[in-house]
Chain A
């Protein structure tokens, strides 16, 4: 039986992808990308989990059965990258709103 965390990750990625493809508001597209990034972060953190293990801090540890620390560092990096991407996408949305007066991605000027 697949762990419920991985089912949640799959659902989040699916929802984020549906929103990315079907929604037209630029802010909703940016939110969809952030949701998919959060799903990836959840996936990475849950990879390191071990049953009945403690946090991977070595000093004064009561026992040595710890969760894996490497996925946690991968997740931290990914969170920071997701922050930068969402900040830049939202500032692009602000510029587009200032120039076009609308956040609808259907009302664009760049055509084929």
Chain B
């Protein structure tokens, strides 16, 4: 037990990684044992993440030197050696969101993908995605951030193109991989620029040694652009609709948390690596601009879609805009302590809370879209209709997700959006008004989607449609319950998960001091 808690950072990554490579071997022994091992690996990673989260809540930043005799030997001679994993409350916040969605996506896939071949590769790639997401949020090293980013991109691209009988899926995978490779290349170049000046790759040590020369600012531009591309902010959103639309439903839910890992990296670079730069509020303003563009363009592109999953993909772009808006407002007032305590803290709190809520309700929506595709065989809303007669549970879960994304009480979307509206209003009322208009358009788009798919006469339903099996209903029910609970008791989530994460973002000195 002590072993599990002490080595939690490495075990949370290593066990899914090992299980990923065991998938083809276990697939020979049968589908049941392979599915069981995949579920067990992600559940074990979940336990490790929970232990680590409790450790970080109690003891502050946790550091782990990979490969040292004792994990605490981070700086034996005064400067960090080896690859150091540095986990603070923001890392555990993202890890809890990622691993819970990964677990539910694994359970959902076991039923939804039953009729397909090549499931060994499917589960192997899904476990690789989980390991890579956890690696990205736990690492304290800029180059290993690049490596885990690439692992995540390659595994996601393989899963996006999983339906290899269709050319459209391969097209989406190709586009995603080309765009992600360029982004990762920019991260690598930025790491090279920073290494060439300071001979350091550890993010905490770099933050302490940073002198903000021209090359450092150039590296910031490269890093910010690369991670804005990875999280799907407008105008770098061109891959989101294809990738989320063509992937299998559980993979789309995982891609949402994978994009949020890119968002985590953007925050890490902005707040921790460059937090004491004199002009850092310009990055905050850039994030606000990207956020507003994403919100508006995402929702307006979504309204005209007729494919359910492409519609949800554009809404994912739009909701990412809310997160960028909230945290951007916080970053742009970072130097001003009075403004931070007035509304900056609340803005970052709203943005981060929205990250977790978005993972939950977007996962729920993609699962329901997958259920509709499983039963009806089509994603085109023009061809569907009246499904609520035959699929009542799926219809209710879709309604939960749609009301949550539109920001209706008592669901979780309302809680985080209200915090964002109130805090952004004090920064600039226009931005808050735009955010509310986008919420209205989101509601309009989902009213159209819900009535197009589920409402309508019984005669409109295709033959052979019935409710999906319990293996797909259970993850949807769990997510729907969480969506409702987070909306009814937001203070609990804020106190235990979100506020420590916001304090971790604002407390750059704690992050640096743990290593240097």
Interface residues, chain A, CB within 8 Å of chain B? Answer: 20, 26, 29-30, 33, 36-37, 40, 43-44, 47, 70-71, 74, 77-78, 81, 84-85, 88-89, 92-93, 95-96, 98-100, 108-110, 112
Interface size of B as a range: 35 or more
Please, which residues of chain A bring their CB within 8 A of the CB of B17?
none
Cross-chain contact of B171 among A78, A88, A110 (Cβ < 8 A): A110
Contact B185 A37 (CB under 8 A): yes
Contact A92 B177 (CB under 8 A): yes
Please tell me which stretch of B153-161, B254-262, B379-387, B484-492 contacts chain A, meaning at least 4 of its Cβ atoms lie within 8 angstroms of it: B153-161
Please, which residues of chain A bring their CB within 8 A of the CB of B143?
74, 77
A106 to B147, CA, bound (A): 32
Please, which residues of chain A bring their CB within 8 A of the CB of B246?
110
Given contacts A26-B174, A40-B189, A110-B172, contact A92 B161 (CB under 8 A): yes
Given contacts A36-B185, A110-B168, contact A81 B150 (CB under 8 A): yes
Please, which residues of chain A bring their CB within 8 A of the CB of B195?
47, 70-71, 74
Please, which residues of chain B bring their CB within 8 A of the CB of A77?
143, 147
Contact B166 A85 (CB under 8 A): no
Contact B182 A20 (CB under 8 A): yes
Can you report 19 residue pairs joining A to B where beta carbons are below 8 Å apart? Answer: A33-B178, A36-B181, A36-B182, A37-B181, A37-B185, A40-B189, A71-B192, A74-B192, A81-B147, A81-B150, A81-B154, A81-B184, A84-B150, A92-B177, A95-B167, A96-B174, A100-B167, A110-B171, A110-B172
Cross-chain contact of A89 among B150, B168, B177, B191 (Cβ < 8 A): B177
Please, which residues of chain A bring their CB within 8 A of the CB of B189?
40, 43
Q: Is B242 an interface residue, CB under 8 A from the partner?
A: yes
Q: Is B170 an interface residue, CB under 8 A from the partner?
A: yes
Contact A40 B171 (CB under 8 A): no
B158 (CB) vs chain A CBs: closest residue = A88
Contact A96 B192 (CB under 8 A): no
Please, which residues of chain A bring their CB within 8 A of the CB of B166?
99
Given contacts A85-B177, A96-B170, A110-B246, contact A33 B182 (CB under 8 A): yes
B305 (CB) vs chain A CBs: closest residue = A112
Interface residue SS majority, chain A: helix
Q: Is B173 an interface residue, CB under 8 A from the partner?
A: yes
Given contacts A47-B192, A81-B147, A110-B172, contact A95 B161 (CB under 8 A): yes
A29 (CB) vs chain B CBs: closest residue = B178
Cross-chain contact of B174 among A44, A92, A112 (Cβ < 8 A): A92
> What's the minimum C-beta distance from A70 to chain B, rounded to whole angstroms?
8
A96 to B143, CA, bound (A): 33
Contact B147 A96 (CB under 8 A): no
A88 to B168, CA, bound (A): 16
A33 to B270, CA, bound (A): 27
Q: Which of B376-398 contact A (CB under 8 A)?
A: none
Please, which residues of chain B bring their CB within 8 A of the CB of A92?
157, 161, 170-171, 173-174, 177
Given contacts A95-B170, A110-B246, contact A84 B154 (CB under 8 A): yes
Please, which residues of chain B bring their CB within 8 A of the CB of A109?
167-168, 171
Please, which residues of chain A bring their CB within 8 A of the CB of B301?
112
7 tightest Cβ-Cβ pairs between the two chains A and B: A99-B167, A95-B170, A92-B174, A81-B150, A92-B170, A47-B196, A96-B170
Cross-chain contact of A33 among B172, B181, B242 (Cβ < 8 A): B181
Please, which residues of chain B bring their CB within 8 A of the CB of A88?
154, 157-158, 173, 177
Candidate in A84, A96, A98 with the most chain B CB atoms within 10 angstroms:
A96
Candidate in B172, B192, B246 with the most chain A CB atoms within 10 angstroms:
B192
Please, which residues of chain A bring their CB within 8 A of the CB of B153?
85
Given contacts A20-B182, A33-B181, A40-B185, contact A89 B171 (CB under 8 A): no
Please, which residues of chain A bring their CB within 8 A of the CB of B62?
none
A86 to B189, CA, bound (A): 19
Cross-chain contact of B154 among A20, A44, A85, A112 (Cβ < 8 A): A85
Please, which residues of chain A bring their CB within 8 A of the CB of B158?
88
Please, which residues of chain A bring their CB within 8 A of the CB of B147?
77, 81
A95 to B201, CA, bound (A): 39
> What's the minimum C-beta distance from B164 to chain A, rounded to whole angstroms?
6
> What's the minimum C-beta distance from A33 to chain B, rounded to whole angstroms?
5
* Given A93-B174, A95-B170, A110-B246: 4 more A-B contacts, CB < 8 Å: A36-B181, A47-B195, A89-B181, A100-B167
> What's the minimum C-beta distance from A86 to chain B, rounded to whole angstroms?
9
Please, which residues of chain B bring their CB within 8 A of the CB of A108?
171
Q: Is B110 an interface residue, CB under 8 A from the partner?
A: no
> What's the minimum C-beta distance from A91 to chain B, rounded to whole angstroms?
9
Given contacts A99-B166, A110-B246, contact A89 B178 (CB under 8 A): yes
Q: Is B188 an interface residue, CB under 8 A from the partner?
A: yes
A81 to B188, CA, bound (A): 12
Please, which residues of chain B bring their CB within 8 A of the CB of A99?
166-167, 170
Please, which residues of chain B bring their CB within 8 A of the CB of A112?
241, 301
Given contacts A26-B174, A92-B173, contact A43 B192 (CB under 8 A): yes
Please, which residues of chain A bring their CB within 8 A of the CB of B174?
26, 89, 92-93, 96
Please, which residues of chain B bring their CB within 8 A of the CB of A47?
192, 195-196
Candidate in A20, A26, A84, A88 with the most chain B CB atoms within 10 angstroms:
A88
Please, which residues of chain A bring their CB within 8 A of the CB of B201?
70
A109 (CB) vs chain B CBs: closest residue = B168
